[in-house]
Amino acid sequence: MAQPNIIVYLLRKDLRVSDNPILHYLSASSDHGYTHLLPLYVVPANQVELSGFIKDGGASPFPKAKSSVGRYWRCGPHRAKFLGESVWDVKQSLEAVGSGLAIRVGMVGDVIGSLLDGLKKANHKVGAVWMTSCEGTEEESDENAVAAICEKGGVKFKVWTDEKYLIDDRDVNVESPEKLPDIFTTYRKSAEPLREKPRAVLPTPEKGSLPPFPAPSAVSSQTPPFSIPETRKELVEYLVNPVKDFLPNIPTFPEKATSAHPFEGGESAAQTRLNHLVRSEGMKNYKDTRNGLIGTEFSTKLSAYLALGCVTARQIHHVLVGYEDGTNSTFESVDGYGGGENEGTKAIRFELLWRDYMRLCHQKFKHKLFRLGGFKSGAEEYKEGEKKIKWKFPNPKKASPTQEPDAERIAKILERFLDGTTGMGLIDASQRELIHTGYTSNRARQNVASFLAKHLGIDWRYGAEWYEMLLVDYDVSSNWANWQYVSGVGNDPRGEMRIFNPVKQAFDYDKDGSYVRSWVPEVSKLEKLENLFQAWTASEEDLRAAGLEGNVMVTDPVKRIEFSVEGKPAKPNKRPFFRRRGQGRGGVDNAAGKGDIPANGSDESQGNSPGAGAPTSEIGADKTPRSPYRAGGAPRGRGGGYRGQQRGYHGNHGMRGGGGRPRGRYAPAVQGHHHREATPLQSDV
């Protein structure tokens, strides 16, 4: 028998059989010359904790897979479960078309090295190792390691274009990553019309069309001390067990809460969800529902599938086209069928382009994605007059001796931010939802990130790493670039000036308080919304009735934001003053409004805004007046109602012209135990 000529396909963030360029090529072409295909998935030791794969509880040869700043697990239980399910699903799909999947754990280079050795010993030729490209410095090191091994062994190595984005790399209208516009809107305009851009979806290989799986005896087994699970259940357990106790005292799942993301991982589940979204009119209604907080239906929940490549953005696009053009009869009964692109489907493409953009930013800024100074790490990226932000650190070695509050206190505040006991209802609800389910809405994410970076002034990377551990949809580019964006060190033209007021946002998006009530049961008995959103504002009587006397969220909230219910603007987006100043429609409510802004909170008009650094509104949004519900001891704010405060702001605090920063400490009347002074914006610290 002729010597087998094997091709190894290393799957990474492309855990699908459909619309898969490598599998399509191997199934459709007859002259590639490979007799066998070895699909392989390696659980990477530096990103996922592997001790669960050691049966006798022995020590792992790898360091714990923990983050560098906060020392949190790199991959927490929610994503670990989703990953296990997704890997198993692609294994089954490959088996269904007559192939299979070898699962291994370790460092990618080592695993490939030992597999190549084993195949050689079994007198098999390895013709090539292929993989799709993946964003990330670690992923790049893996590619380099495999390339070096292949070169040494005379094996061809190829990295294929990752085709899971809306606009294929080959069609991106930007000469090189360095030329990527720093403003999303500019990039979007260069990419439009979006509906015409995605490439065709590739067909799924038919049964028997792929080269067969090599003889199992030729495929070397997992190196000790690890063992490979034999069932889906075991795989999930091995991945989840070491990381499930990520907090010392994880609270029990609140009785009245339900997960917005109860979905299982894998390509099959992604396709089911995608079709459901069209049939249920979720896609059509997306623009109106995307800012929701509760339930499975308010946004697509496709992010985790996209992150692992269980589905591609262009598959989503094509399913939408089938509905819009009336060419997929399974959607015949859905309102809008055959009616062309509608508001909902257009908005989905828009969001998918944000995802593309964040990935391109990663290509442009590379390791700056992880730097405290963000994309602005080099002084040259700061505009004239813009000061570097002075962050607060929980680590005494990093904190300056004059840091206020000191490192020990910041460490406690950070702990409470992470476990959701800050006393700020919306933030606590989101953080607890994240702990319990691995998901929290985009609206909540923006508020959480802004709260840590801009209200508390704490090194934002703790938040980004916490999200990395807990998000089921963690994606290196989307997570870190969004954290930078909201923290004021990334590609938000309004940068540090954009501040979300979590009380106002709660009033706008959690209108009846159900979200906070369901995730923070301790405060659920408080009737008034303003008390629910900040328990310290409740009267002693109400606190007693709710059993909240002495609760740390009441006695020691990490931040107090004074907020007047009566003065709250009825229509957050209509703030003509700011528009007159050339802010575009974003104005005050870029952070707070809805309808005019994409889910990620930046608006369409920012590219047109003459003064990217002009004073914005979010200051106004946060610059909230003395609350009529002010609890005893709470500091009095300046001015009367919200509007009065706005006037005061404009009247009392002159702005430098055209794009200048506001003079002086115009900080809002936001006070807390540890922020007795009116807290300045980061730039003024």
Catalog residues that contact ligand FAD under the rule CB under 6 A: 290, 299-303, 306-307, 348, 351-352, 354-355, 358, 441-442, 445-446, 449, 467, 471, 473-475, 478-479, 482-483, 486, 599-600
Rounded Cα distance between 667 and 659, Å, is 18
CA distance 552 to 547: 12
C-beta separation of 554 from 423 below 8 A = yes
Cβ proximity to ligand FAD: between 78 and 445 the closer is 445
CB atoms within 10 A of CB 248: 7
What span, in angstroms and rounded, lies between the C-alpha atoms of 160 and 141?
16
Residue 473 marked as a ligand binder: yes
Among 363, 311, 356, residue whose Cα is nearest residue 194 = 356
Task: Report the DSSP beta bridge partners of residue 499.
Answer: none
259 marked as binding residue? no
| Four-residue CA torsion sign, 112, 118, 120, 122 | negative
Strands 125-132, 560-561: pairing is: unpaired
- Give Cα 80 to chain centroid, integer Å: 16
> Does 300 carry a binding-site annotation?
yes
What is the nearest approach in angstroms of ligand FAD to the Cβ of residue 501?
Answer: 16
> What are the φ and ψ backbone dihedral angles of 485, each rounded to 5 degrees?
-60, -50
CB 69, CB 393: distance < 8 Å: no
In the complex with ligand FAD, the residue whose CB is nearer, 446 or 609, is 446
Distance CA 467, CA 464 (A): 5
- Collapsing DSSP to helix, strand or coil, 148 comes out as helix
Report the nearest approach of ligand FAD to the CB of residue 679 (Å).
21
- Distance in angstroms (rounded) separating the CA atoms of residues 84 and 243: 14
Least CB distance from residue 388 to ligand FAD, whole Å? 21
Q: Is 419 annotated as a binding residue?
A: no
Q: Where are the beta strands (DSSP E) in 263-381?
A: none
CB of residue 283 vs ligand FAD: minimum separation in angstroms? Answer: 9
For 399, which DSSP code? Answer: S
By C-beta, is 35 or 132 nearer to ligand FAD?
Answer: 132
Rounded least distance, CB 473 to ligand FAD, Å? 4
- Quick one: 60 or 600, whose CB is closer to ligand FAD? 600
475 is in an annotated binding site: yes
Q: For residue 474, say whether it is annotated as part of any ligand binding site.
A: yes
Question: Toward ligand FAD, which CB reaches closer, 94 or 310?
Answer: 310
- Rounded to a whole number of angstroms, the minimum distance from the CB of residue 494 to ligand FAD is 15
Between residues 142 and 356, which has the closer beta carbon with respect to ligand FAD?
Answer: 356
Alpha carbon 24 to its chain centroid, in Å, reads 30
Closest CA to 450 of 432, 473, 427: 427
Nearer to ligand FAD among residue 543 and residue 591 (C-beta): 591
Beta strand pairing status for 670-671 and 5-11? unpaired
Nearer to ligand FAD, 238 or 375 (CB): 375
Q: How far is the CB of 599 from ligand FAD (least distance, A)?
A: 5
Instruction: Give min distance, CB of 591 to ligand FAD, in A.
Output: 12
Residue 672 per-residue DSSP state? B
The distance of closest approach from Cβ of residue 187 to ligand FAD in the complex, given in angstroms and rounded to an integer, is: 13
CA 364-367-371 angle, to 5 degrees, is 115
Q: Is 41 annotated as a binding residue?
A: no
> The tokens 């704490």 sit on which residue?
458
Question: Does the N-terminal peptide bond of residue 225 adopt cis geometry, omega within 30 degrees of 0?
Answer: yes
- 89 annotated among ligand-binding-site residues: no
Residue closer to ligand FAD by CB (options 301, 364) is 301
Residues 6+ apart with CB under 8 A from 257: 433, 436, 518, 519
CA distance 171 to 419: 43
Query: Residue 105 or 180: which CB sits closer to ligand FAD?
Result: 180
Taking the least distance from each CB to ligand FAD, the nearer of 307 and 543 is: 307
Nearest residue (beta carbon) to ligand FAD: 600
Q: Minimal CA–CA distance to 169: which of 193, 136, 208, 197?
A: 197
**504 neighbors 594 (Cβ within 8 angstroms):** no
* Least Cβ distance, residue 477 to ligand FAD (angstroms): 8
State both tokens at 674. 């540890």
CB neighbour class for 512 (10 Å; exposed up to 12, middle 13-18, buried from 19)? exposed
**Nearer Cβ to ligand FAD (107/319):** 319
Q: How far is the CB of 498 from ligand FAD (least distance, A)?
A: 12
- Least distance between ligand FAD and beta carbon 539 (Å): 35
Is 301 a known ligand-binding residue? yes
Q: What is the DSSP string of 483-542?
A: HHHHHTSSS-TTGGG----HHHHHHHHSTTSHHHHHH-GGGTT--SHHHHHBGGGS-HHH
Nearer to ligand FAD, 510 or 530 (CB): 510
Q: Kind of pairing, strands 102-106 and 156-160? A: unpaired
* Residue position matching structure tokens 């087998």: 4
Q: How far is the CB of 361 from ligand FAD (least distance, A)?
A: 10
Binding residues: 286, 299-303, 473-475
Residues at the annotated binding site for FAD?
286, 299-303, 473-475
